[in-house]
Each structure stands twice: as structure tokens, then as C-alpha cells.
Copies of this chain bind each other. A is one copy, B any other.
Amino acid sequence: MSNSPNSTFSLNDLGGLFRRVRRQSELLCEPLIAEDYVVQTMPDVSPPKWHLAHVSWFFETFILIPFHPGYRRFNRQFHDLFNSYYQGVGTPFPRPRRGLLSRPSVVEVYRYRKHVDRFVEELIAGLDRQPDCERIQQLLILGLNHEQQHQELLMTDIKHIFAQNPLFPCYCEQRHCDKQALNVDLEWIKITGGEVNQGYDGDVFHFDNESPRHKVLLNDFFLANRLITNAEYLDFVRDGGYQNPLLWLSDGWAILQKESWNAPLYWQELDGEWRVMTLSGLQTLEFDEPVCHISYYEADAYANWAGKRLPTESEWEHAANQGSIARGNFLESGLFHPRPALSGQGLMQMFGDVWEWTQSPYSAYPGYRIPEGAVGEYNGKFMCNQMVLRGGSCATPESHIRKSYRNFFYPHNRWQFMGLRLAADA
């Protein structure tokens, strides 16, 4: 629990928590060489050094500058350079050009981190004497959650960077999980609907988009006990799923044709055998692992092909609320790869492994208001054209996830650890 920025904590804990989360980001970069920190392989991807700097910029911009009178900036030009999209506080350096910057050097970025760390820790040390103590604490917790989000992006971006390289670099050695309990049959769990609650309910940290908690009406429904596997998805591929427009959303079919999609991202067929790029290099496709790196369009097409559907986010959250938050395969496992369902009963793999596409567009909950101030740009302005994913992945810090947590991506995005679980009407 002490690793979680989201549980209640005493002021004493805050400094330690800050150090642990900040340290985690740097640990994730340990396998990198300087060259790996610089590359941007598509506009969605940011160079690793950009992530390391940007999360520091967040603390600098929203906490140190407004609340630490003794703060002196590390480099004034970083103000725009490492602004992601906060139009309210400056002119962000254009996203697609992040990979054109060889400087500041990686060493310089780490110095920037240390600089920010020192002042934040100073601020934390004197926090109880601060008039804005509570606001600062909230922002610090937000900043740590923000950094955890970028820890996941670091991993997915490193994977994308390595995957474009015909040398297929290896981030970490492949660790085989215990295979004893594979081939878990797909079973349907019946969930009873009714008037249920959706949204965050508690008194520690959560994002604005998880609230207000509100009631929704649900029919009874079925939810698959586990994620769809590579083997199951391969049946869809081999059955001509990528050649049949009637299975696809119109926009999905258009992008499939434009991009010549014929399998999930990172899959490669060679002489009739499928291999897959992982953070441990190019590997044989494991049939029992959850299918991963598919777009919403592919998840939806698969569900159509299977005669089923994707769950709504309300259904997913309602189902999740019926169990305790199980341990899952999160960032901390060090696998950086989804693993097969282990034998068990009830809903498995709800947390970790892969984010689960829902059929719910990312929208405001009833009564939602965008927060005041620059951090108001955090979530609300993205509530259009994106779809909700639930449950976290093998790249999500365990302490970061919640049952009410809403992740969101465009339906064509594939570079996150994204997969699917089927649902059906009861």
C-alpha cells in the first residue's frame, strides 16, 4: 500500500511516496541507452526523455512556480518545450516534432529531474506551515498519478520504438510465467442488472472524469470469464475476418484498407507461422496469452464475428464492483507482457494484462464540470471521438488503477496494451 499515491497517507508519507514514484520512472529507463531516449516513431509516441522531463515540468508548472516562492527555474525554455497540451499556460512545442530534439541531453534531463525533486521535497518538508497546504497536497497527488500514467506510456512508447527497428532490440529478458493452468475455457458469467451506481465512491484520489457518481439502469447481461486469447483471435484472422467488410464499422474498414491491417499490431507472419514483437524482442506467438495491441475496430469486428458484443463501461464497472480488486499482472510484475488466464473461478483478468475496450464512447458523466484552472485541461477536453477502456494493463502501476478508472483512446489506436473481453445480452 505504501507505494500507492492514492490511498490515504500522513504528511510524513508524502515525501517518501514522492521519492518512490519518481524513482520508478527512472528505474523503467534503466535498460535504455542514450539513443533510445530520443526517438519518436509516430506522433502518438513521445521520446522517453520527453516523458521524464514532462512529468517534472508538471510539478514545476503547477506546484513549484505557483506555490514555492524560492523556486528558480532550471531552464526557462523548458516551459514550452515540455508542455504537452496545456494551452492555458503557454504554447506547447508541437507534438509531432518532439523527436527532432537531440538536446537537452539525457544527462541534462536527469539533472532537471533532480532539480525539481529537490524543490518539491523542500516544499513537502514545510508543507504543514503552508497556507495552501491542502491544495498543494492535491496537486502533488495529481502529479504523482500523472507520472504513473506516463510510466505506462514510457513502456508502450519504448515498445513502439523498438518494434520499428529491424534489429528488434530487447528491453528485458523474456520471463516465462507458470504454464500449469493454461487453456482456461471461456465461460459466461451472468451479471444481474438493475439500477446500479457508476463512478468513484471514496475519499481518496480519483480523476475528475470518474465522477460524479451516478445511477444507471442495466439489463442483466453475460460477461466472459476471461480475455480473448491469441488462439481465439487467430481463428478470426484465419476465417477471413480482415477481408470481410460486413464485420467492421465503416470507419474501421476504411482504416484497415488504408493501413493494410491484417492482424494485430506487432504480429508478423513468416512462412505461415506467427511471431510477435514484445519488449523481450521478437517471439513466437503464444496461443493462450490474451490478444493485445488491437484497435477498437478490431475488438468490435471480432465480437461481431463471434456473434457477441463488447461490454459497456457501466456493465464492466458493475461486474468489477462485485468482486474485490484482485491482484493482477501489473507493471510491478516486471513482465511487461500480458499472461494467460490462470485457472480460477468467476471473472479473471479483470485487472492488469490488457486494457479492455468497452463499447462506450468517452463522455462526461451527468453533472460533470471541467475543474477550474489549468489542470482543467487534464481530462475534459478529450471527451470526444475516443472510447473507454477499463481495468489496466501489464504496464499500469498497480497502485494507479481503480474499479472506476476510465482510460480512453481513439478507436484506431493500437500501441497501448489493449485487448478485449466479450459480453452478451442475457
Interface residues of A (CB under 8 A from B): 33-39, 41, 49, 77, 80-81, 85, 87-88, 93, 97, 99-106, 161-162, 164-167, 169, 195, 214-217, 219, 245-246, 248-253, 296-297, 300, 304, 312, 359-361, 363-364, 366-367, 370, 376-377, 381-385, 387, 411, 425
Q: Select from chain B the residue with minimum beta-carbon distance to A49.
A: B35
A-B contact pairs, 16 of them (CB 8 A): A33-B105, A35-B37, A35-B38, A35-B102, A35-B105, A36-B102, A38-B38, A41-B100, A87-B245, A88-B245, A97-B164, A102-B161, A104-B167, A359-B364, A366-B425, A384-B411
State A253–B300 Cα separation when bound (angstroms). 29
Complex contact B219–A366 (CB within 8 A):
yes
Complex contact A102–B33 (CB within 8 A):
yes
Complex contact B77–A167 (CB within 8 A):
yes
Partner of A361, one of B80, B85, B363: B363
Complex contact A35–B166 (CB within 8 A):
no
With known contacts A361-B363, A367-B219, A35–B103 Cβ distance under 8 A: yes
- Measured between C-beta atoms, what is the minimum distance from A310 to chain B in Å? 10
State A215–B217 Cα separation when bound (angstroms). 7
Partner of A382, one of B35, B214, B250: B250
Q: How many monomers of this chain does the complex have? A: 4
With known contacts A35-B37, A359-B363, A100–B384 Cβ distance under 8 A: no
- Measured between C-beta atoms, what is the minimum distance from A91 to chain B in Å? 10
State A80–B363 Cα separation when bound (angstroms). 38
- Measured between C-beta atoms, what is the minimum distance from A205 to chain B in Å? 23
Complex contact A39–B100 (CB within 8 A):
yes
B-side contacts of A39, CB under 8 Å: 38, 99-102
The 10 closest A-B pairs by CB, nearest first: A361-B361, A87-B245, A34-B34, A35-B102, A36-B102, A250-B381, A100-B164, A39-B102, A249-B384, A38-B38
State A300–B361 Cα separation when bound (angstroms). 16
Q: 19 additional contacts, CB 8 Å, given A33-B105, A99-B99, A104-B167? A: A34-B106, A35-B105, A35-B106, A38-B38, A39-B102, A41-B100, A87-B253, A101-B164, A101-B165, A101-B167, A102-B169, A103-B167, A215-B217, A248-B381, A249-B383, A300-B384, A359-B363, A359-B364, A385-B385
Complex contact A217–B216 (CB within 8 A):
yes
